[in-house]
Structure 1
Amino acid sequence: MPKPLDNDKLTFPILIGDIGGTNARFSILIDAYAEPKQFPSVHTADFSTLDEAIQITVLDKTSVQPRSALLAIAGPIEGDEIPLTNCDWVVRPRAMIADLGFAEVMVVNDFEAQALAVASLSDEDRAPIGNNNHSPVASRVVLGPGTGLGVAGLVHAQHTWFPVPGEGGHVDIGPRSERDFAIFPHLTPIEGRISAEQLLCGRGIVNIYTAVCLADGVEPKFTIPADITATGLSAADAQAAETISLFVTYLGRLAGDLALIFMARGGVFLSGGISQKIIPALQRPEFRQAFEDKAPHTALMKTIPTFVVTHPLAALSGLAAYARTPASFGLATEGRRWRR
């Protein structure tokens, strides 16, 4: 295992990477005062390895040789070989140091990076959902439906933000309303259970839509999440429209549960591309109604704000904030930082 290191600064220039199940995004931070140099996003399926993607899309396109790499990856971090949850890539920090010329590599969970963003983004980079648009300096939750469903907490103590990573997207979720009980038997489970990620991600949209169609005795028309979303938002198809309504309802229920778990008086922040695309649906009553419907704590829930993170590269922004001033964040480095 890597030797534990103090929470000192990474060596500039720093390659910053947000590695998801579908897309990988990169930038280079020259120093603590510069704006990151962005590179085009790439599809993970277009490259056999992460190292190949970094070499071809970044290192071959710039004269700047990064000395460090700070990577956020979609999956738990353990050991010297780190597989992504929804992608065939495996992150091998020691090989990256040997083959790509880095002096050090640090790997964090992708939703730790989202939490770092939530701690550091301005008001202009978030859209309030509901009437409360004030986010006090207090514990927060970030929740992101995308290729999978990411969850992280963010605790504020001793003038420091502490990201709390986890695999909260895999908690159980169950039926509640009469309509839920009609739909849930038609949902596709994983090993006998319905997890939140089975509903609240790209394939979850398809899962809900197909189940709605089966419950209605209608042949499904769509198989692509973007088609269901666009059609549902326009209300051009009844089953697709109900799918989006149910999606935001289930998202509101889970967001409320997580707010209670973390006592997130600072708010719940919805990140990722899906959240940004469905802002009109989130601003309808269903999301906040589901979020607040947590008796006996409904009054408390009404005081907790909810937002959509609208920054297009929030994870990269959060990682850059950490790279500039690591002392502002209680980010664990033991077992997640490697040096030559």
Structure 2
Amino acid sequence: MIAHTQAHTQAPTQAQPKTDTPSYPLLLADIGGTNARFAIETAHGELQAVKVLPCAAYPSLEDALHSYLHDAASLAAGAHQLRHAGIAIANPIHGDQVRMTNHHWEFSISATRHQFGLERLDVVNDFTALALSLPHLQPHQYFQVGGHQALAGSAIGLLGAGTGLGVSGLIPAGERWLPLHSEGGHASFTPANAKEVAILEFAWREFPHVSAERLLSGPGLVLIYRALAELLQAAVAPLEAPDILQRGLQRECAICSEVLSTFCEMLGTMAANLAVTLGARAGIYIGGGIVPRLGDYLLQSGFRARFEDKGRFRDYLAAIPVYVITEAYPALIGLSALHRQQSADR
């Protein structure tokens, strides 16, 4: 859902590029549970003063915004002229008050608009913004992991692991794409073999409901690491997700490597479930902070084999391409596209 501070709301849509007159400069912000990414768009596709701020370093979104807007690069890009802004945030959007699921920030959309002197402030779920970017990504901004060509006129699926697990998609509607307002990361985790059942049972000791996000996320890497250590009866030092990722990729730690292997296979199941649920024959896109960092590891892992492991639907899945988004700021591209479309609709 997109929340507006103006008198009306409308379902977010994405059209093919068309002539419009959006207002520049435009403030764009992508707020995750760990980092907040800011930019000022000065013309179509021209992002200036791109900056990433750690959320933990600021008591509130307002404090982070104030810091960004008073940065020298932001001022040079026209921060003092801003009247319109778009925020993508890792959270469901229901009404004016926003309270983040994976971070302590909370704010009023209308109060934030007033505080920063904005005429218009649109707030949308981060994976809705990411979904809206997909028709605008170029081949150098992603790479393909198996499958054939995308089937025109079909749905597109999207998921991404970072601090949490985001899920969305695009449904074709004439010349437009309708983004899904999904919280699919909170669907129950589905194990596919005895090892994953054991990991699920380990997680159940701490969480009465084990969602896909509990395992397919940064905290999930830590949970899988702890579960495998117990399963293998190995004494291991406590590690955080970045260390597990680095040691696993460099094969410095056998259990860390097993964590990444297990993670990739679990992700394959999740991606396949999304594909068959949506009928996403135009492809599955994967974003977030973890998978793009895997690079060639994902290609060599069991991800694609698990993605296609759907019994009688193996051939159906084998045809569907999977794309890993490598663009650093895709949600900002989606916010920009949303702003252009809404400007054209006025």
Query: What TM-score results when the alignment is normalised by the length of structure 1?
Result: 0.90
Distance 1:318 1:231 in 2: 33
Distance 2:284 2:262 in 1: 19
Q: Secondary structure at the match of 2:180?
A: strand
1:67–1:151 CA distance, 2 compared to 1 (3 A) = same
Per the TM alignment, residue 188 of structure 1 is displaced from its structure 2 partner at its CA by 5.5
1:238–1:135 CA distance, 2 compared to 1 (3 A) = farther
Distance 2:237 2:318 in 1: 38
Per the TM alignment, residue 56 of structure 1 is displaced from its structure 2 partner at its CA by 1.3
Structure 2 contact 264–301 (Cα < 8 Å) conserved: no
Deviation digits for residues 132-167 of structure 1 (CA, Å, limit 9, x no counterpart): 365645311110100000000111121101111211
Residue among 150, 154, 158 paired with 1:142: 158
Q: Tell me which residue corresponds to 2:24.
A: 12
Per the TM alignment, residue 323 of structure 1 is displaced from its structure 2 partner at its CA by 2.1
Residue among 255, 262, 270 paired with 1:246: 262
2:168 is the alignment partner of 1:155: no
Structure 2 contact 158–285 (Cα < 8 Å) conserved: yes
1:12–1:91 CA distance, 2 compared to 1 (3 A) = farther
Q: Tell me which residue corresponds to 1:173.
A: 189
Matches within 5 A, 1:77-226: 77-130=93-146, 132=148, 134=150, 136-187=152-203, 191-226=207-242
Q: Tell me which residue corresponds to 2:42.
A: 30
Q: Tell me which residue corresponds to 2:68.
A: 57
Structure 2 contact 147–320 (Cα < 8 Å) conserved: no
Distance 1:328 1:257 in 2: 36
Distance 2:144 2:257 in 1: 23
Q: Tell me which residue corresponds to 1:309.
A: 325
Structure 1 contact 322–328 (Cα < 8 Å) conserved: no
Letter in 2 for 1:90: E
1:18–1:207 CA distance, 2 compared to 1 (3 A) = same
Structure 1 contact 268–306 (Cα < 8 Å) conserved: yes
1:17–1:9 CA distance, 2 compared to 1 (3 A) = farther
Structure 1 contact 39–58 (Cα < 8 Å) conserved: no
Structure 1 contact 189–198 (Cα < 8 Å) conserved: no
Deviation digits for residues 114-136 of structure 1 (CA, Å, limit 9, x no counterpart): 10111211111111112536564
Q: Secondary structure at the match of 1:36?
A: strand
Q: Secondary structure at the match of 1:297?
A: helix
Residue among 3, 7, 26 paired with 1:3: 7
Distance 2:344 2:185 in 1: 27
1:113–1:135 CA distance, 2 compared to 1 (3 A) = farther
Per the TM alignment, residue 191 of structure 1 is displaced from its structure 2 partner at its CA by 4.1
Distance 1:34 1:172 in 2: 38
Per the TM alignment, residue 190 of structure 1 is displaced from its structure 2 partner at its CA by 6.0
Distance 1:96 1:102 in 2: 8
Residue among 43, 47, 62 paired with 2:58: 47
1:140–1:299 CA distance, 2 compared to 1 (3 A) = same
Q: Secondary structure at the match of 1:82?
A: strand
Distance 2:238 2:263 in 1: 16
Distance 1:191 1:181 in 2: 15
Distance 2:50 2:67 in 1: 11
2:336 is the alignment partner of 1:320: yes
Size of the aligned set, in residue pairs, is: 329
Distance 1:328 1:156 in 2: 19
RMSD: 2.3
